[in-house]
Amino acid sequence: MASVEKRDMETRHGASLQELNPSSVHLPFSQELAQELLNTYGSPLYVYQADILHQSIRRITQAFSYPRTQFRFASVTNGNISLLQIFRAAGWGLHANTPGDIYLGLQAGFAPEQIVYSGSNLNCIEMEQVLNWGVTTLNLDSVAQLQLCCEVYQSLYTENSTTPRLGLRLNLPEITGDSRIGVRPEEFADAIALARQAGLKLSGLHFYRGTGTNATEAFSNVIDKVITTAQLLPDWEYLDFGGGFGYPYHHSGAAFNWEMFGTELSDTMTCLGRDIELVIEPGRAAIAGCGTLLAKVVSVKWQEEKQIVGVDTTVANLCVPAVHGGYREIVAWRNRENFHVETLHPLVLQLTDVCGNTTYSRDYLGKNCHLPALQIGDIIGILDVGAYGYAMSSHFLHCPKPAEVLLENDTHRLIRRREDYSILLANQVFD
């Protein structure tokens, strides 16, 4: 059996051309638009489709009938201000993992009370910053973080201070497994006493199932257990059923069933007979599908029967395999100027590796894909990069990051400028 690392890198990617079989091809937009975008903004390029994002937001929102449900977008997946503003306009709040998430949320126009902090291991300065920003709901990862929060709150307290609403992130080994995140139920008594000594109360429980879970039952089967645990808190007011909701990067694979989960959780909350607030924090599930990374083919060579396609982007512009499993569906558009070029039959798909523009030995955007014979100047699209695409891109091998563009109401606009090489000198100190 192949190792996990090898399996991730060798996962087969789906790919097709618009001209091949339109009934079975999922292309995000036309070849003409893809070419126009690259001509206007350059290559490589992140492209986000507002209509797809709106559809995802509506589907998730409508899945819950429980009237006291609030939605908080997990901005760790994508921190572009223009995209955050779409969530704000839809009535969602923000879920923050870090002070940086909070900062971006405030810049996007979210009020502090619309932001829920559920992070880990803040130092004293960071905790003070979060409270000074006015964030009122904090789900804390440990008794030590709770103690720090209480101490900082007491040091900042004035008669005009807003009292924060505190919750605990839940660590329940029979559900969450061997996780570093959260507080175990046997620690609740100490945590409750600590909060009360500071004049605060623990009123919430935050449940985090795990990263990228597509199995609906992994969430629905634990609803009763999580609620039973929340009732150990005498001042229980809200249940944050968290994130970790997956996205089907394999388009033919298992997908999270929002309607089923929303119905089960809503029915259970309704039957409680208590006025408990419900918080849902989707991240990748809401935003992954709206993003495509466009790139141009700059090199083609053959090794026996395999096509080796070089493109002008790099794996550093995608998130690490541990986050998404190493798979992205890839599509391609033929440059019409290349149609006269004598090549293999355009209807025959070729075993293909799509390689980045660095010498890093694992710089594969796709390995063992099935793509048509391509030519220099053709365009590829790497789908479903809305989550953890730009957010986890890096300057590895000293490559500046691409631009970002939003397609909205039949128009396109720049929402983040392309970096140039000067970014590599930013903050360096030298003679």
Does residue 108 sit in the same domain as residue 248?
A: yes
Helix 124-132 to helix 143-156 angle (10° resolution) is 60
Q: Which residues of 3-41 are buried (b: 16+ CB within 10 A; e: fewer)?
A: eeeeebbebebbbbbbebeeeeeebbbebeebbebbeeb
Does residue 330 sit in the same domain as residue 248?
A: no
Does residue 149 sit in the same domain as residue 275?
A: yes
Residue range 287-298: mean pLDDT, rounded: 97
Above 60 in pLDDT, residue 142?
yes
- pLDDT number for residue 242: 81
SS3 state of residue 266: helix
- pLDDT number for residue 22: 32
Query: Considering 235, 252, 285, which residue would you say is the last residue of a domain?
Result: 285
Above 70 in pLDDT, residue 77?
yes
Does residue 181 sit in the same domain as residue 268?
A: yes
Q: Is residue 430 part of a domain?
A: no
Mean pLDDT of the chain: 89
State which residues form the domain around 380.
4-49+288-425
Q: Is residue 431 part of a domain?
A: no
Q: What is the CATH number of the domain that holds 377?
A: 2.40.37.10
Residue 346: pLDDT band (50, 70, 90) is: low
Question: CA 172, CA 218: separation in Å to the nearest integer?
Answer: 14
Does residue 147 sit in the same domain as residue 266?
A: yes
62-71, 99-108, 202-211: least confidently modelled range: 202-211
**Which residues make beta-bridge pairs with 17?**
332
Does residue 29 sit in the same domain as residue 110?
A: no
SS3 state of residue 154: helix
Does residue 230 sit in the same domain as residue 309?
A: no
Does residue 43 sit in the same domain as residue 76?
A: no
- pLDDT number for residue 175: 83
Above 80 in pLDDT, residue 343?
no
The candidate with the shortest Cα–Cα distance to 193, out of 233, 139, 140, 137, is 233
Token digits for 377? 């100047």
- For the chain, give the percent of residues with pLDDT over 70: 90
406-422 residue pLDDT tens: 999 989 999 999 999 99
Q: Is residue 127 part of a domain?
A: yes
Does residue 195 sit in the same domain as residue 257?
A: yes
Query: Number of folded domains in the chain?
Result: 2
Token digits for 381? 């699209």
Above 90 in pLDDT, residue 283?
yes
240-244, 263-267, 317-321: least confidently modelled range: 317-321
Does residue 296 sit in the same domain as residue 324?
A: yes
Assess contact for 143 and 151: CB atoms under 8 A.
Answer: no
Q: Is residue 97 part of a domain?
A: yes
- pLDDT number for residue 14: 41
- Residues 6+ away with beta carbon under 8 Å from 186: none
